[in-house]
Amino acid sequence: MPIDLQKDSLQTALRKLQAKETTFSLLEKISELGSWEVDLKTNKSIWSKQSYINYGYEPFTIEPSLQVFLSHLTPEDLPRAQATLKKIMASGQADTFQCRIKKESGEVIDALLHGQVVYDEKNNPSKLIGTTQNITSLMKLKQETQELSQLIEYSSNELYIVDINTFKYLYVNTGACKAIGYSRDELLTMSIYDINPYLTPDIVLKLKNQLLDAKHFINRTIHQRKNGTQYHAQAYIHPIQYKGAEAYVIFDTDISQNVENENLLRAQSDQLKHLAHHDNLTSLPNRTLFKDRLSQAVISGKRHDTPFALLFIDLDQFKKINDSLGHIVGDNVLIEAARRLQNCVREEDTIARLGGDEFTVILQGVKNIQDISNIAQKIVDDMREAIIVEGHHLYISASIGISLFPQDATSTDDLIKFSDTAMYKAKDEGRDNYQFYAKQMTAFAFERVVMDTSLRIAIKEEQFVVYYQPQINIKTDKIIGMEALVRWLHPTLGLVPPGKFIPIAEENGLIIEIDKIVRNTAMRQFALWYKYGLNPGMLSINLAMKQLNEKDFLSQLITTMKEIGFQSKWLELEVTEGQVMNNPELSIEKLKTINAMGVDLAIDDFGTGYSSLSYLKKLPLNKLKIDQSFVRDIPQDEDDMAITKAIIALGKSLNFKLIAEGVEDMEQKQFLIDNGCDYMQGYLYSRPLPAEAMTALLKNNQAF
C-alpha cells in the first residue's frame, strides 16, 4: 500500500477513535461515571476525565494513583474499601462497593465503585479496572422517597389503597390500623365494606361513576372500629397505579369532632329560626309562620279540594288585666290562654299568636260546620274558667270569628280579613261567643250546639207538651182518632215545633226519651178521656224506629199501658216510610210482634220514600198516611193528583185504610172523597191542639 494511502486510512481510524472517545467521555459526564485503571505491574494509574471530576480535580492536573484514590475515601469507608479490593484481587471476581468520597474541595459525595481484575495472556493479573460513579442525586432521591413513605406510614391520617374491582385493601398505613383497631394483617384480608357498615354496592357504584367524571373527590362516611364503636370519616379518594395495577388511594380523616360542631351549629341555627318564627312568650308560631302556614293550607286546599276553617280569637278583658295588674300577670294569662287553646285543638292544627291578645287557629280536616262549632265552643267554654296568677282569680273570655275556605274566601288576606270581621261581630254580640263570617252558619251551628244541651235540660225539666190533632172519617166527619204531636215549650224561645229538634234528637239518641214522655203523656190523657166518656178514638203515636231497638221497649209499653189503664186496641203507631225501608227485614219482624199485641200500625209520610211493594205486602200494616206534600197542591198539580190517586188505589188493593195528611180546604177533601180515601187529618178540621182545647172540642163533638 502506498505510504499516502496508509496515512489516509490511519487518519480515518484515528478520527473514528477520537469520535468514539468524545461520545464515551460525554456518556461518562451524563452518568457522572468515571473510569480508571491501575497497572498492577507498574502500579501506575490512568483516570478518565470524569474520574478527575468525581474526585474534585481539574482533569489531568495530578498524577493519579491507588493512594490518591484511597485517600479520598471517608475514614469509616476506608477499611471496607481496602477489604473489597483485596477480595477482588484474590477472587478475580468483579465487585461493587458503595461508599462516600471526600472530594478535593472537601465536598462529600455518595459513590458507587465497581472493580475488576484484568488478566494477561499468561493469565496473570495485569490490571485492575473499574468505575467510580457519583450517585449523590440518586441517593438523595432514594432518601426522599424513604422519608415520604415513612411519612405516609406513620401519618396519623388513615391511608388505604384498595383494588379498583374488589375493594380489598392492598395497603394500609399505621394510622389506619390505629384508627380502626385492626392489625395490618387483618385489614389486608378485608375490604372497604368491612369497616364502612353503611356502604352498599349501589353507593360504591355511584362513587365509582363520580370518579370517572372527576379525578378525585371527597366523600363522607362512617367507620366502624374493631370494637364496634363508630366515627365519622371524610374520605379523599384518588385513582392511582399501585404495583402496576389500577387502584384507589383513600385518605380518611376522623371528622367526628367537626360533625359534632356542625350539629351544634345546626341546632343553634334551628333555634334561631325557631325564634324568628315563634312567639317568645308562648312558643306558638308567630305572625310570619302563621301566614306561611295559611298559604300552605290554601295551596293544599285548592290542590286537594280540602276545606278548612280559620279562627280569629281575641281575649276579652285582657287589656284590663294587663293594665291593672301589670305585664307579668298579663304574660301569665297569655301563656295559660295559649295552653288552653292547644288543649282544644289537635296537634296538627296551627295555633298562632299574632301579637297582644290575638290568636289564630287553622283547623284542617274538619268534616262539617258542627265539628268547627264544637271546637269553637270548647275554646269559649275553656277560656271562661278562672286563671289563677299570683293568687288572683282572673276571668277572661274569648270572642272568636270564623271564616271558611273555600266558602267565604280563597285568598289568605280575605280569610284573615273575614275572620277578623266575624270576631268583631262576636264582640258586638256581647263577647264570650263565636261567630261565623257567613251569618247563616252561625245560626245553624248555634241551633245545633245549643239544642244538644238544651234538649237534655228539656227532658230533665219536663219542657215538652203534647198536642193532639184529630183524624176524621172523611165521609161522616166523625173523629176516629188523634195524632199526638210533640212541642217544646222552651223557657225563652217559646213553643218550638218538632221539625226544629226531632232530627237532632234522632241523631243524638234523645228521641227515645222524648218519645217515651210523649207516649206516656198521651196514653194518660187518652185513658182520662175514655174514663170521662169522651171517646177520642185511636191514639196515633209517632215512633222512631230507634225505639224498637231498645231491649225492653215492648215490656215497658205493656207495663205502662197496664199502669195507666190504657187498652192496646186504642193504640196506633206511625212509622215513617223512610225509616221502615231502611232495614225492611228487621222492621217487619219487630212490627209483627207489636201488631200481635193488638196495636195498629200506620206508615207515615207515604210516598216520600222508596217503598218496595214486596215488603209493603209483608208488613203487618193497617193504614197508609198519604204525605201532605201530595195533598198540598191539589187541585193545581196534576202530578200530585195522579200520585195521590195511585197511592189510594195501591193501599186499597193491599187492604190498607188510607188517611190523607195536611188537608186544608174543601177541594182537597172532595178530591179525596171522590177517589175513595177513608180518613183525613188537617187544618180544615182542626190544627193540633193542647189537651185542654181538645177536651173542649171532644165535648163539643159529643154535643152534635
Give least dist CB 572 to ligand C2E, A: 12
Select from ligand C2E, Mg ion, none the partner in contact with residue 694, using the beta carbon and a kind-dependent cut-off of 5 to 8 Å: none
DSSP label at residue 704:
-
498 binds, among Mg ion, ligand C2E, none (CB under 5 to 8 A by kind): ligand C2E
| Whether the Cβ atoms of residue 391 and residue 325 lie closer than 8 Å to each other | no
- Cβ 278 to Mg ion shortest distance, Å: 59
Alpha-carbon span 685 to 470, nearest angstrom:
8
Among 314, 432, 600, 605, binds Mg ion (CB under 5 A): 605
Q: How far is the CB of 304 from Mg ion (least distance, A)?
A: 42
Classify burial at 702, counting beta carbons within 10 Å of its beta carbon; exposed 0-12, middle 13-18, buried 19 or more: exposed
- Kindly state the smallest distance separating residue 343's Cβ from ligand C2E, in Å: 38
Q: Contact, 537 vs 482, CB < 8 A? A: yes
Smallest gap from Cβ 681 to ligand C2E, in A, equals: 6
For residue 434, CA distances in Å to 319, 321, 343, 420, 689 come to 20, 22, 18, 11, 38
Return the number of the residue (497 or 509) whose C-beta is nearest ligand C2E: 497
Q: Which is nearer to ligand C2E, 65 or 521 (CB)?
A: 521
Cβ proximity to ligand C2E, 308 vs 671, nearer residue: 671
Instruction: Name which of ligand C2E, Mg ion, none residue 668 binds, using a CB cut-off of 5 to 8 Å depending on partner kind.
Output: none
Residue 26 cell numbers, joined: 460525554
Which residue, 147 or 477, has its beta carbon nearer to ligand C2E?
Answer: 477
Terminal-to-terminal C-alpha distance of the chain: 187
Establish if 604 lies at the interface with Mg ion (CB under 5 A).
Answer: yes
**Shortest distance, CB of residue 631 to ligand C2E, whole angstroms?**
8
User: Which DSSP string corresponds to 379-417?
Assistant: HHHHHHS-EEETTEEE--EEEEEEEEETTT-SSHHHHHH
Whichever of 321 and 474 has its CB closer to ligand C2E, that residue is 474
Could you tell which of ligand C2E, Mg ion, none binds residue 454, using a CB distance below 5 to 8 A set by kind?
Answer: none
594 interacts with, out of ligand C2E, Mg ion, none, CB within 5 to 8 A per kind? none
Least Å distance, CB 542 to Mg ion, is 4
Q: Cell digits for 44?
A: 501506575
**Stated length of the chain:** 704
**Which value, to the nearest 10 degrees, does the dihedral of the CA atoms of residues 644, 647, 648, 654 take?**
180
Interacting span for Mg ion (CB under 5 A) from 249-257, 265-273, 507-515, 658-666: 658-666
393 vs 460, beta carbon nearer ligand C2E: 460
Q: Pick what 518 binds: Mg ion, ligand C2E, none; C-beta below 5 to 8 Å, kind-dependent.
A: ligand C2E
Residues making contact with ligand C2E (CB under 6 A): 469, 485-486, 497-499, 502, 511, 515, 518, 542, 544, 574, 604-605, 628, 661-664, 681-683, 688
Nearer to Mg ion, 32 or 605 (CB): 605
Output the smallest distance, CB 567 to ligand C2E, in A.
20
Q: Which is nearer to ligand C2E, 330 or 688 (CB)?
A: 688
445 versus 543: smaller Cβ distance to ligand C2E: 543
Residue 568 burial by Cβ neighbours in a 10 Å radius (0-12, 13-18, 19+): middle
Strand pairing report for 33-39 and 125-134: antiparallel
Instruction: Retrieve residue 93's grid coordinates.
Output: 471476581
| Contact by Cβ (8 Å): 288, 276 | yes
- Quote the cell numbers at residue 236: 379523599
Task: Give the CA distances from residue 662 to residues 625, 668, 676, in Å, rounded to whole numbers and listed in that order.
Answer: 10, 9, 17
Q: How far is the CB of 406 from ligand C2E (least distance, A)?
A: 35
Q: Of 60, 66, 14, whose CA–CA distance to 40 is shortest? A: 66
**Distance in Å, CB of 295 to ligand C2E, minimum:** 47
Cell triple for residue 686?
Answer: 182542626
Check residue 574 for interaction with Mg ion (CB under 5 A): yes
Q: How far is the CB of 353 from Mg ion (least distance, A)?
A: 53
Q: Please identify, among the stretches 364-372, 427-435, 601-609, 689-697, the one whose residues bind Mg ion according to the rule CB under 5 A.
A: 601-609
With binding defined as CB under 5 A, does residue 412 bind Mg ion? no
DSSP for 215-249, written as a single string:
S-EEEEEEEE-TTS-EEEEEEEEEEEEETTEEEEE
Query: Which of 175, 688 has the CB closer to ligand C2E?
Result: 688
CB of 172 or CB of 648, closer to ligand C2E: 648
Shortest Cβ 634–ligand C2E spacing (Å)? 12
d(CA 200, CA 189): 19
Residue 515, contacted partner among ligand C2E, Mg ion, none, CB below 5-8 A by kind: ligand C2E
Scanning 28-36, 456-464, 539-547, 551-559 for contacts with Mg ion by CB under 5 A, the matching segment is 539-547
Smaller CB separation from ligand C2E, 666 or 703: 666
With residue 95 as reference, give the H or E element that holds it.
strand 95-102
The least CB distance from residue 428 to Mg ion, in Å, is 41
* Percent helix / strand / coil, the chain, rounded to 5: 50, 25, 25
Interface with Mg ion includes 542 (CB under 5 A)? yes
Q: Which region, judged by CB under 5 A, interacts with Mg ion, from 279-287, 306-314, 596-604, 646-654?
A: 596-604
Quick note: the x/- pattern for Mg ion over 62-101, rule CB under 5 A, is ----------------------------------------
Residue 172 in grid coordinates: 394500609
Could you tell me which residues come within 8 angstroms of residue 217 by beta carbon, excluding any fewer than 6 positions away? 207, 210, 211, 236, 237
Min dist CB 605 to ligand C2E, Å, is: 5
From Mg ion, ligand C2E, none, interface partner of 664 (C-beta below 5 to 8 A by class): ligand C2E
**Of ligand C2E, Mg ion, none, which one does residue 544 interact with (CB within 5 to 8 Å by kind)?**
ligand C2E
> How many angstroms from the chain centroid is the CA of residue 437?
32
- Residue 509, exposed/middle/buried by CB under 10 A (0-12, 13-18, 19+)? exposed
The entry of Mg ion, ligand C2E, none near residue 115 (CB within 5 to 8 angstroms by kind) is none
CA dist 556 and 574 (Å) reads 18
Pick the closer one to Mg ion by CB: 116 or 629.
629
> How far is it, in rounded angstroms, from Cα 464 to Cα 497?
11
Q: Please report, as ranges, the residues that interact with Mg ion according to CB under 5 A.
A: 542, 574, 604-605, 661
